[in-house]
């Protein structure tokens, strides 16, 4: 499991691990809480002044943090304390999002300001060359905005399906790439930068935490539309399970005698509540996209309302089951359908009638429908914070003259 928005101090580690942990704690504190003085950081992280000074000086030399031109007054000593902060102006990440429609490359800073974006497609003939194509696109993007690899702390790759995050392997992307594709190895050996890999739903959950600067302790994150997927944190750790499939709400079986799902089982939530399922149930209308469905809802079409209500019923049942299993403190909803006033009206009515126990837990993402561009880059930011800014040999950040 990997931490989401929190790093906990552990014991029994060697000095190298302690150093990395201290750096990670410091970076995470600055990222989530903002600039701090050395004195404040030493107090909040429970480090000695000598230790915090040594850690900060090392990270300043590496170009990871900087002394700012802002100060706080130390009332006890009567002296001003200079603030330390992450060098947001220099540090960037690259996000690579691979979907069935396209590949998106986004170069952004740690505040999620995108400075370069490229969209392209990978056809079925590039299984052996996909990594070189992606690396060439990244290199061109860096050249276009005047950045070198020295300013990039990592690459995040988000792809659908079953991903082994520890190994950086796409076990099954349902046809986007061959099974068991070694994404981390394929890209990292070509470009010489740290590469983090995960699936779309866990990438979105990480992005929700980092973009919002919130700590997800025991949370459930659900994306609804066009498919249905979820991710979960347990005690601040993003949990992927023994086979990287934990929290797959879309393949929770609700009807043993139901329709055959693409996963091979029958009666999965996907067969009852996904866009594909709703589209199949509409007899009077032919729709192609969620936008088409939302338009019918907003027009208050009776058949569409019945179909959507049927889907919401099973969605709420599955969420209720997940809440019993994981006992989350909050459940975050994400997806295009939650932008529809008419859908929300139906959803909230059925929520109150059918599963009122979920009402205190459910809320829509504060950045609903805005995180898809940044979710891959969020993986790289998360890895950067968790590693304490440790980089692949040969890509160390160095201070450059303006």
Kindly state the helix (H) or strand (E) to which residue 291 belongs, with its residue range.
helix 290-298
The CA distance from 83 to 76, in Å, is: 17
- Give the pLDDT band of residue 125 (cuts 50, 70, 90): low
Residues 6+ away with beta carbon under 8 Å from 247: 201, 220, 230, 231, 232, 239, 241, 322, 326
Could you read off the pLDDT of 163-218 as tens digits, one per residue? 999 999 999 998 889 999 999 999 999 999 999 999 999 999 999 999 999 888 89
| Segment among 36-40, 71-75, 227-231, 240-244 with least mean pLDDT | 71-75
Tell me the average pLDDT across 110-129. Answer: 88
**pLDDT confidence of residue 279:** 93
The label of the residue with tokens 């010489």 reads: 192
Per-residue pLDDT at 400 exceeds 50: no
**pLDDT confidence of residue 15:** 60
pLDDT greater at residue 402 or residue 375: 375
CATH superfamily name and code, 92-205+372-386: ATPase, nucleotide binding domain (3.30.420.40)
- Give the pLDDT band of residue 402 (cuts 50, 70, 90): very low
The yes or no reply on domain 2-86 and CATH 2.30.30.230 is no
Could you read off the pLDDT of 318-366 as tens digits, one per residue? 999 999 999 999 999 999 999 999 999 999 999 999 999 999 999 999 9
**pLDDT confidence of residue 40:** 92
Per-residue pLDDT at 71 exceeds 90: no
Per-residue pLDDT at 34 exceeds 50: yes
| Segment among 2-16, 27-41, 187-201 with least mean pLDDT | 2-16
Could you read off the pLDDT of 281-305 as tens digits, one per residue? 999 998 999 999 999 999 999 999 9
The CA distance from 72 to 80, in Å, is: 5
Tell me the average pLDDT across 142-170. Answer: 94
Instruction: Give yes or no for a contact between 361 and 315, defined as CB atoms under 8 angstroms apart.
Output: no
Radius of gyration of the chain from its Cα atoms, rounded to whole angstroms: 23
Tell me the average pLDDT across 50-79. Answer: 81
pLDDT greater at residue 75 or residue 41: 41
pLDDT greater at residue 135 or residue 122: 135
Could you read off the pLDDT of 251-276 as tens digits, one per residue? 999 999 989 988 889 999 999 999 99
- Pairing label, strands 330-334, 103-109: unpaired
The yes or no reply on domain 217-364 and CATH 1.20.1730.10 is no
Tell me the average pLDDT across 208-233. Answer: 93
The segment(s) of the chain belonging to CATH 3.30.420.40 are: 92-205+372-386, 217-364
The CA distance from 346 to 212, in Å, is: 28
C-alpha pair distances (Å), 64 with each of 32, 82, 152, 211, 258:
16, 17, 11, 20, 54
pTM for the full predicted model: 0.90
Helix, strand, or coil (residue 98)? strand
The segment(s) of the chain belonging to CATH 1.10.10.10 are: 2-86
The CA distance from 355 to 317, in Å, is: 8
**pLDDT confidence of residue 5:** 56
């Amino acid at each position: 499991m990997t931490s989401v928005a929190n790093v906990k101090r552990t014991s029994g580690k060697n000095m190298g691990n302690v150093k990395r942990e201290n750096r990670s704690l410091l970076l995470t504190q600055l990222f989530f809480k903002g600039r701090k003085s050395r004195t404040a950081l030493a107090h909040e992280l429970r480090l000695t002044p000598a230790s915090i000074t040594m850690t900060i000086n090392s990270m300043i030399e590496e170009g990871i943090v900087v002394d700012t031109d802002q100060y706080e007054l130390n009332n006890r000593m009567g002296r001003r304390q200079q603030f330390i902060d992450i060098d947001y102006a220099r540090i960037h990440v690259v996000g690579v999002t691979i979907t069935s429609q396209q590949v998106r490359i986004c170069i952004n800073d740690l505040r999620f300001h995108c400075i370069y974006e490229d969209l392209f497609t990978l056809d079925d003939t590039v299984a052996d060359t996909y990594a070189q194509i992606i690396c060439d696109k990244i290199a061109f993007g860096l050249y276009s905005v005047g950045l070198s690899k020295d300013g990039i702390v990592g690459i995040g790759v988000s792809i659908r399906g079953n991903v082994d995050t520890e190994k950086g392997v796409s076990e099954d992307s349902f046809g986007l790439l061959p099974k068991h594709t070694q994404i981390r190895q394929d890209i990292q050996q070509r470009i010489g930068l740290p590469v983090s890999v995960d699936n779309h739903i866990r990438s979105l959950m990480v992005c929700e935490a980092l973009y919002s600067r919130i700590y997800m302790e025991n949370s459930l994150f659900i994306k609804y539309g066009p498919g249905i997927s979820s991710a979960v944190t347990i005690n601040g750790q993003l949990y992927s399970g023994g086979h990287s499939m934990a929290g797959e709400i879309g393949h929770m079986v609700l009807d043993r005698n139901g329709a055959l799902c693409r996963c091979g089982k029958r009666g999965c939530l996907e067969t009852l509540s996904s866009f594909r399922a709703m589209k199949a149930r509409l007899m009077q209308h032919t729709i192609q996209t969620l936008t088409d469905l939302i338009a019918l809802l907003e027009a208050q079409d009776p058949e569409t309302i019945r179909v959507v209500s049927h889907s919401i019923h099973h969605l709420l049942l599955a969420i209720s089951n997940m809440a019993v299993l994981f006992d989350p403190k909050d459940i975050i909803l994400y997806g295009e359908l939650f932008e529809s006033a008419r859908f929300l009206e139906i959803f909230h009515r059925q929520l109150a009638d059918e599963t009122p126990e979920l009402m205190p837990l459910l809320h829509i993402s504060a950045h609903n429908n805005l995180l898809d561009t940044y979710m891959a880059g969020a993986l790289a930011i998360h890895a950067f914070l968790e590693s304490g800014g440790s980089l692949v040999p040969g890509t160390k950040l160095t201070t450059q003259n303006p």
